[in-house]
Amino acid sequence: MISLLSRVYGLGLHLLPRGLREEFGDEMRADFEALLHDAPGLPRRVARAVRCLAALPGVALAERLSAVRSRAGAHPRDEALPHATMTTTRRIPTMDALSKDLRYALRSLGRARGFTLSAVLLLSLGIGAVTASFTVVDQVLLRPLPYPNQERLAYMTNGSHPGPVLRELDGIEGFEAVAMWTGSWSNLTRTDGEPLRLLRYRVNAPFWSLFGARPAHGRLLVAADGDTPNRAVLAHGTWQRVFGADPGVVGRTVNLDGQPVEVVGVVSADFQSPQSLTGGEPDLYLPMDWADPQLDEANIHRHTVVPLLARGVSIEVADRQIDALGDRLRERFPEGFVDRDGNPERWPLVPLSEQATAQVSGGLWLLLGAVGLLLLVACVNVAHLVLARALGRDREMAVRRALGASAGALARQLLLEKLVLGMLGGAGGLLLAWGALAGFRTWTTLLPRGASLALDLRVAAFALATAALTAVVFGMIPAVRAMRRDPRAGLHASGRGSTAGRRVQALRGGLVVVEVALSLVMVALAGVLTRSFLSVTTQDPGIVADRVVALPLNLSENASPAEWNRHVEELRRSVGELPGVEAATYALELPFQFTGGQRCCWGTRIGLPGEPEGDAVRASVHAVHEDFFDVFGVHMIAGSPFSRMGADVAPTRAVLSESAAVRLYGSAEAAVGREFSWGSRVSEVVGVMADTRHYGMDQDHGEAVYVHTMALPFAIPEAALAVRLAPGSTLDGGALREAVWRVDPNQPIPDVTPVSTWVDASSSLRRFASLLAATFGAVALLLAAGGLYGTLLHAVRERRRELGIRMALGASAARLQGAVVARGLVLAGLGALVGTGVAWYASRLLEPLVWGVTPRDPLALGASAAGLLATAIAASWIPARRAANTSPLETLGAE
């Protein structure tokens, strides 16, 4: 603690003139440490440190002042400590003097209410925004994952992986251990309550130690449990929610998907599952079932793989070992492990921490950048305000100097005033940040670890320091001016355009240019993101989602595809008879059910029969009920959908997506009636449908094959009903419950989700980003306009006399007005020029975030610049009117 503070003090000493610091710096530091050391208790220590630190700027200023004065040949004696009394008696400033200064500062801020309010609001805005967004970035992106050896945990990309890969992973030398899991929904049936839908993960034995899990009760799963896959470990939340936190549940047998499963343990409450980073939070865990025949299929991709790299093994080395494994597997499974273009499939590793935040990291860094710009703009505006106020106080300063106040005293006074301002702004900023974080927490589904976001005070302190420093630096200008000047000058001149005034005008002009440039960058950014968002949402999803609701089901009790089909068909009929239902259908998975890059569930390679394997096209297979095309309003380009009759007789009839038909046969029309092969099967094309954006509005549609669910080669524990409702009607909860349970009493009542919310959700992150950027852009624009307005107004006020004279000499009002607007436009134009350049250069950072437009969208850039200039003209208008309304008699008479 002391050494840290001492280091800070050492840094602070750099404020002092070099001579003093070099001769006495070491002693000062030694004494500072001794002072802290002798202070009893932490609060006193900190209080002492703060007082010593706070004294530094005053000493620095006084030293420099006395240097200036002795050069000027004034009295060689130094100023003593700066203090606020106006008498010549010098004394150590006591709390009394300090509180007097404070009272004075508050009074003077209170007098300039408009100034104080604007400055505090600006500071709050900047501090609040930076604090909130850096907190998010820090806690979501920068904090290490809560696992032992988290820096060596990797994620095997390219989605989920099939059994043959999983079985070989233990042989990879670069891996110390490998965790793998697959999730699916299960039905928990109970004698004392409704059936529940639980997310169940099958995990392998190393999973537990890799992620540092500990049991709260009972034990975790071990390798030997793999022989008896019907054992379960409960997540802590499930144990509390479903089993009433009863420790006696360990050893009990529950009914899961019609199977008895023994509960062997409960995971401790502090365990954060890795699934919550990349998928859904598990309700319970079962051991991997290595005897599952699906694990022998090369085309069933279900498992997430997270290896722990051996010490000293880099990701590149491990990648090469995985590539070698891929080559071996391709020899064994000639039709698997190649991508849609026939190239060998690769599964490069990425650090798990990166994967967990991959979806949001680009956006979050962008957010931080935008907010940083906002803080800058806010600081520039505060500088404006403070500077404008400072110039108005030359006279006050001169009077007080003449009355005997030392320059040091005035400096301290001004410093205190700005510090009070900073404190108020800081308080407002914290409030704002706290509110913003509460808002972020509601987006938890979008942000990994979002639920645990908490205000970071270190960040708040940083933002506060930045803003307060701005206020102080620019606030000290009047003190410097007062010091340099003969007090009499300030009393005589009533703020006419002196040279110093002109210099300050130039400084303010420069600030406006910076501000305009920064806000242009932000507006352009918002423009590009909004264009990208619009281009996503204006895509044709390929389906008509209005009035269609989805009901995901669990079908884990079916042994064969025939049973599966019978089961879903019965549910479909029962639900289809409900009042208000126009049509009902089902599918293995529905459009927009799995978005954001996660692809479920079935992929294959299609080709013309008899042609070489290398020409095959990778396609996703969608198993659907025959009414699927009707319920989702899919547009058939050629042919017609298949019917249920003979759907399970070879050759299977199939509907191709347009892109798949064009790829295989050259056109949609040419495809109908032709055959294609996929894996060991051959199918006949009965129809071609328009492409749909099955996996999200911002995903390429890719080639797709639709077959009847009767053609499923095995039973899959999932399905989803889709129901089209009559206009204005809804599904009644009670009736739905009855309709489902009449067929299947073990079926949990499904969540009813309008498919349109899935469609919207697939672009919600983009909407969020463009909304955020637009808000920031608008605020920045407003601030820039305010800065320009203030500067011009001030210039007009300063030049009142000149304008009056020009008017008296016959200049027209329109001409004066034009001159002011022209000055505004020159400043804005310069800023726009710089800003466009910066935006042009910075736009490549947007590359990964935009879709459907180029990041250097000329329309967005041009529109931003035009909007900015229009705002500039508007902001110049009032000052220009004021100039035009100058009355020559009044202004000249006023002096």
Partner 1 sequence: MDIDAHLPLSPRDLLILATLAEGPSHGYGLIKAVEERSESGVLLDPANLYRVLRRMRRDGWIEETETPHDADGRRRTYAITGPGRRLVQAELARLARLLGQARPALARGGDTP
In this chain, which of 2, 10, 46, 55 binds partner 1, going by CB under 8 A?
Answer: 55
The piece of 45-53, 380-388, 624-632, 867-875 that touches partner 1 (CB under 8 A) is: 45-53
Q: For residues 94-153, which are near partner 1 according to CB under 8 A? A: 94-95
Nearer to partner 1, 405 or 523 (CB): 405
Binding footprint of partner 1, residue count (CB under 8 A): 33
**By the rule CB under 8 A, 91 interacts with partner 1:** yes
The piece of 76-84, 244-252, 694-702, 868-876 that touches partner 1 (CB under 8 A) is: 76-84
CA atoms within 13 A on the CB side of 197: 14
Q: How far apart are CA 770 and CA 758, in angstroms?
A: 19
CB of 92 to partner 1, least distance (A): 5
**Per-residue x/- mask for partner 1, residues 12 to 41, rule CB under 8 A?**
-x--x---x--xx-xxxxxxx-xx--x---
CB of 27 to partner 1, least distance (A): 5
Nearer to partner 1, 14 or 143 (CB): 14
**By the rule CB under 8 A, 732 interacts with partner 1:** no
**By the rule CB under 8 A, 89 interacts with partner 1:** yes
**By the rule CB under 8 A, 339 interacts with partner 1:** no
The alpha-carbon radius of gyration of the chain (Å, integer) is 36
The piece of 50-58, 251-259, 348-356, 720-728 that touches partner 1 (CB under 8 A) is: 50-58
Alpha helices by DSSP H, 112-252: 113-136, 163-168, 206-210, 236-243
CB of 76 to partner 1, least distance (A): 9
The piece of 91-99, 204-212, 378-386, 615-623 that touches partner 1 (CB under 8 A) is: 91-99
Phi, psi of 798 (to 5 degrees): -65, -35
Nearer to partner 1, 86 or 894 (CB): 86
User: 427 Cβ partners below 8 Å, 6+ apart?
Assistant: 124
Q: Percentage helix, strand, coil, to 5, in the chain?
A: 55, 15, 30
**By the rule CB under 8 A, 92 interacts with partner 1:** yes
**By the rule CB under 8 A, 722 interacts with partner 1:** no
**By the rule CB under 8 A, 67 interacts with partner 1:** no
Q: How far apart are CA 621 and CA 679, in angstroms?
A: 12
The piece of 85-93, 319-327, 607-615, 866-874 that touches partner 1 (CB under 8 A) is: 85-93
**Per-residue x/- mask for partner 1, residues 513 to 552, rule CB under 8 A?**
----------------------------------------
**By the rule CB under 8 A, 86 interacts with partner 1:** no
CA atoms within 13 A on the CB side of 675: 10
Closest CA to 709 of 593, 545, 550, 558: 558
CB of 271 to partner 1, least distance (A): 50
**By the rule CB under 8 A, 80 interacts with partner 1:** yes
Per the listing, tokens 């298949």 go with 642
Q: Strand, coil or helix: what is 187? A: strand
Q: DSSP assignment, residue 749?
A: P
Q: Is the separation of the CB atoms in 601 and 644 below 8 Å?
A: no
Q: How far apart are CA 476 and CA 52, in angstroms?
A: 21
**By the rule CB under 8 A, 409 interacts with partner 1:** no
Furthest-apart CA atoms within the chain: distance in Å: 110
- Hey, how many other C-beta atoms are within 10 angstroms of the C-beta on 630? 14
CB of 805 to partner 1, least distance (A): 50
Q: How far apart are CA 365 and CA 824, in angstroms?
A: 34
Q: How far apart are CA 744 and CA 738, in angstroms?
A: 10
Nearer to partner 1, 51 or 502 (CB): 51
In this chain, which of 90, 252, 332, 566 binds partner 1, going by CB under 8 A?
Answer: 90
Determine the residue type at 659.
S
Nearer to partner 1, 62 or 385 (CB): 62
Q: How many helices (H) and strands (E) does the chain have?
A: 28, 21
**By the rule CB under 8 A, 502 interacts with partner 1:** no
CB of 87 to partner 1, least distance (A): 11
Residue 432 structure tokens: 């704002």
Closest CA to 654 of 627, 626, 680: 626
Nearer to partner 1, 9 or 155 (CB): 9
**By the rule CB under 8 A, 51 interacts with partner 1:** yes
In this chain, which of 18, 71, 77, 311 binds partner 1, going by CB under 8 A?
Answer: 77
CB of 464 to partner 1, least distance (A): 23
Alpha carbon 662 to chain centroid distance?
39
Q: Is the separation of the CB atoms in 153 and 352 below 8 Å?
A: yes
Q: How far apart are CA 330 and CA 347, in angstroms?
A: 14
Q: Is the separation of the CB atoms in 318 and 311 below 8 Å?
A: no
Phi and psi based region of residue 143 (left: phi greater than 0; alpha: psi -120 to 50; beta: remaining): beta
Contact residues toward partner 1 (CB under 8 A) are 13, 16, 20, 23-24, 26-32, 34-35, 38, 48, 51-52, 55-56, 59, 62-63, 77-78, 80-81, 89-92, 94-95
